Structure 1
Amino acid sequence: MSLARQECKELSLGLELATIYGIFKVTECIAMGRCCEVYQGEQSSTKKCIALKVFRRCQDYGGALQRELSFLQKLSTPDAPVVDHLGEMRWEGRDILLQEMLTCTLRDIFLSIEGSSCSAWLVITLANDVLRGLAHIHDNGIVHADLKPMNLMWDAKTSMFKIIDFGLSFRTTEQYTHAIQSKGYQAPECMRWNSFSVAQRFKAVETPGPPADIWSAGCIIIEVSPRRRPGADELLGDPWLKQYHQPLFTDTVLLPTTVIRILNAEDPGIADSGITKDTIECRILNLCKKYGETRGHHFETALGHFYVCYQEPSEAEAAQQALTKCLLNERMLIVTFYSFSSWTKRDFY
């Protein structure tokens, strides 16, 4: 799907949709694809945001919708790096899928770093998340068939990349009859399959399977040998993915989470100034609570770093942006996001 805020036509901004899941106000058009448009919806009562995937009216996408819906219902689980499906509805002739609101696509991240090399932490995090997602998809007998940077999104709540968009997916047990994968991420067998699909000669070539997804993953992450394509489970056991890397400073600024880290919370001159640790901790915590409900905090005095965990990513983003411009004891605070997994492990650096 491509960003096309000016061209989205199915829902108007400000529209309120009354559903069995609550009332959602359409606040933004996020993207537009061949058969559907994606909007951001804000729940009136909680102010939480969800993604509304709207299939266009007056076009025969019923089969595609039902297929995608069946895959989402089967694959959605809290632990897998796959977009969470929240429900489905119809509104004035439009079919709408309700999904969790994710932060940004991998393509957005590539554009943000403007051709610079990704950090080892980012690559390993991406590789683990993509392969865990594919292992889950393949274990359920499904081929994603359109893995690409636009279909990988960062989830600020769980600090992981998630696989989205199952519009071209199919079951390994079915006789599939459509072209698959996007150019640049097509496995050789898919290129051949697509050329035969144009002539409707599906029986003349073997239907691609899970290895086609592994090729696409390799195009995104690392170069994969065409002679030996291991499964996602085998790749997850590779020692390279077991290396431990801390994120770079740019990673902690680029990828939002629910946790913020104030790098210079403690002044080396605190002892001489008469300001106690409890005083500085109270001041910072009061500042942080202005931007949302906190789930916990930690003051690593040996490093001079202060960590705060919020309920929602939007609260952490607001705090990070505001506190970065804030003066405390005549110092400009340096604030980044912090890995949620490191927070839960009490691993502070």
Structure 2
Amino acid sequence: MVIENQSMKPVLFEIFGELWTVQSRLGQGVSASVYRVSSGRASTAAVKEFQADTQGGDYGYHKERSVLEDIQGHKNIVTLYGVFTNHSCVGVTTRCLLLELLDVSVSELLQGHSMWLVQHCARDILEALAFLHREGYVHADLKPRNILWSADDECFKLIDFGLSFKEGNQDVKYIQTDGYRAPEAELQNSLAQAGVEMDGDSGCTAAVDMWSLGIILLEMFSGIKLKDTVRSQEWKDNSAAIVDHIFASNSLVCPAIPVYHLRDLIKSMLLNDPKQRCIAETALLSPFFSIPFAPHIEDLVLLPSPVLRLLNLIDDSHLHNEEEYEDILEDMKEECQKYGSVVSLLIPKENPGKGQVFVEYANSSDSKEAQRLLTGRTFDGKFVVATFYPLSAYKRGYLYQTVQ
């Protein structure tokens, strides 16, 4: 049974015999709404509730469920925990997916991303696409809103498989979102709109996903939404020249060699002929992925992880007096434990990271709460700056020198 409020938004879901509280609505589309739900401090998830289908088809639910069940287990694809049916207090039955709760989407991140973030996103999504395409599936709706950050797994993940299909068996006429739609999908959509029937062999292929990712990476690098650009005649006439111009305009603030590698990678995804476009497995071999980058402070503020980094707290004088140093360690641990379970705490005495406080929490929910409550607070008259920090780097003892 679902209890609803006056706006018809569920307040509680009963999932596998347990009541989950709806904390917020994360998104709403034509056929489904997505909610953040909680069964207590330690358990949070997302529920995708499909609209009741008056024709009895429940097509969207069955389609997405079947695709997700078939492709589970990859670290860069959202995890499906289970499925259930809801019976509302007004007698409406809806189908629901219980999904892994993820964090910010690429569309929510600051425009003009760092090379570290572009590389991280590109590699993660290419890994997801390589797996998906090997399994014979086309995502068919790749866009910034469908790429989300996982704080606990420290990677980007693909979501929303409502338009996905098996290559060679395209059962969806209208695919992809305007601005991220490959030329062959644009043509197919136009023909379908005109009532022209396509034969079974003329459907779109996995190459449409590579086109979408190329546009996403170009937007991330440039900080420009390209919807109007890719619809222009200039783009249709010579998209490569426009890509070159975008990179030339931004190359002054980035090191030249990585920029050229990224440019060439993107251009290989944006060839008009889908047969000539690079495939995901080949793209992963690009020299762009062999170049190490450090995150910018903006990345570490925006991308949650279980580790917090606290700046502007410790003076050099505190680090060289052993008694004072031990007192500070104890004080900081006591303070940080107010917000969640602390696994470890580190205050380096030398560079890199000298005087910064690194706090590893048991999970990202605790670190996010700590970051929210600590940012802007004062200790000994100093304002605290709290950013997240990559768990993998922290575990390796690697402290970025270039991030301040």
TM-score by length of 1: 0.89
Q: Do structure 1's residue 344 and structure 2's residue 395 form an aligned pair?
A: yes
Q: Which residue among 184, 195, 200 is the counterpart of 2:179? A: 184
Contact 1:258 / 1:340 at 8 angstroms: preserved in 2? Answer: yes
1:239 positional shift: 1.0
Letter in 1 for 2:9: L
User: 2-side partners of 1:271 and 1:308: how far apart?
Assistant: 17
1:322-337 map, 5 Å: 322-337=373-388
User: 1-side partners of 2:378 and 2:321: how far apart?
Assistant: 17
User: 1-side partners of 2:321 and 2:138: how far apart?
Assistant: 63
Q: How many aligned residue pairs are there?
A: 333
User: 1-side partners of 2:158 and 2:54: how far apart?
Assistant: 26
What residue in structure 1 maps to residue 233 of structure 2? none
User: 2-side partners of 1:17 and 1:72: how far apart?
Assistant: 21
Contact 1:143 / 1:172 at 8 angstroms: preserved in 2? Answer: yes
Q: Which residue among 8, 11, 19 is the counterpart of 2:9? A: 11
User: 2-side partners of 1:175 and 1:119: how far apart?
Assistant: 37
Q: Do structure 1's residue 311 and structure 2's residue 362 form an aligned pair?
A: yes
What residue in structure 2 maps to residue 240 of structure 1? 288
CA offsets 1:84-117 (integer angstroms, 9 cap, x no match): 11111001110011101111221111xxx3xx42
What residue in structure 1 maps to residue 253 of structure 2? none
| Aligned CA distance change for structure 1 residues 274 and 176 (closer, same or farther; 3 Å) | closer
Q: Do structure 1's residue 141 and structure 2's residue 136 form an aligned pair?
A: yes
| Aligned CA distance change for structure 1 residues 271 and 288 (closer, same or farther; 3 Å) | closer
Task: Percent identity, please.
Answer: 28
What residue in structure 2 maps to residue 3 of structure 1? none
Q: CA RMSD in A?
A: 2.1
What residue in structure 1 maps to residue 339 of structure 2? 291
What residue in structure 2 maps to residue 24 of structure 1? 20
1:176 positional shift: 2.6
Q: Classify the secondary structure of the residue corresponding to 1:287.
A: helix
What residue in structure 2 maps to residue 108 of structure 1? 108
Contact 1:10 / 1:37 at 8 angstroms: preserved in 2? Answer: no
User: 1-side partners of 2:52 and 2:340: how far apart?
Assistant: 39
Unaligned runs of 5+ in 1: 1-7
| Aligned CA distance change for structure 1 residues 191 and 271 (closer, same or farther; 3 Å) | closer
Q: Classify the secondary structure of the residue corresponding to 1:71.
A: helix
Unaligned runs of 5+ in 2: 1-5, 88-92, 219-265
Q: Classify the secondary structure of the residue corresponding to 1:221.
A: helix
User: 1-side partners of 2:63 and 2:374: how far apart?
Assistant: 46
User: 2-side partners of 1:151 and 1:87: how far apart?
Assistant: 20
User: 1-side partners of 2:84 and 2:33: how far apart?
Assistant: 15
Contact 1:144 / 1:169 at 8 angstroms: preserved in 2? Answer: yes
Q: Which residue among 33, 36, 42 is the counterpart of 1:37? A: 33
Letter in 2 for 1:105: S
1:52 positional shift: 0.8
User: 1-side partners of 2:211 and 2:53: how far apart?
Assistant: 36
Q: Which residue among 151, 156, 164 is the counterpart of 2:151? A: 156
Letter in 1 for 2:63: R
What residue in structure 2 maps to residue 4 of structure 1? none
Q: Which has the larger radius of gyration?
A: 2
Q: Classify the secondary structure of the residue corresponding to 2:199.
A: helix
Contact 1:176 / 1:207 at 8 angstroms: preserved in 2? Answer: no
Contact 1:64 / 1:167 at 8 angstroms: preserved in 2? Answer: yes
Of 98-107 and 298-307, deviating more is: 298-307
What residue in structure 2 maps to residue 170 of structure 1? 165
| Aligned CA distance change for structure 1 residues 334 and 161 (closer, same or farther; 3 Å) | same
CA offsets 1:3-23 (integer angstroms, 9 cap, x no match): xxxxx96533xx222221632
Contact 2:168 / 2:203 at 8 angstroms: preserved in 1? Answer: no
Q: Which residue among 203, 207, 210 is the counterpart of 1:207? A: 203
Letter in 2 for 1:301: K
Q: Classify the secondary structure of the residue corresponding to 1:290.
A: coil
What residue in structure 1 maps to residue 61 of structure 2? 65
TM-score by length of 2: 0.77
| Aligned CA distance change for structure 1 residues 33 and 89 (closer, same or farther; 3 Å) | same
Letter in 2 for 1:248: H
| Aligned CA distance change for structure 1 residues 164 and 21 (closer, same or farther; 3 Å) | farther
User: 2-side partners of 1:220 and 1:161: how far apart?
Assistant: 13
What residue in structure 1 maps to residue 50 of structure 2? 55
Q: Classify the secondary structure of the residue corresponding to 1:18.
A: strand
1:185 positional shift: 0.5
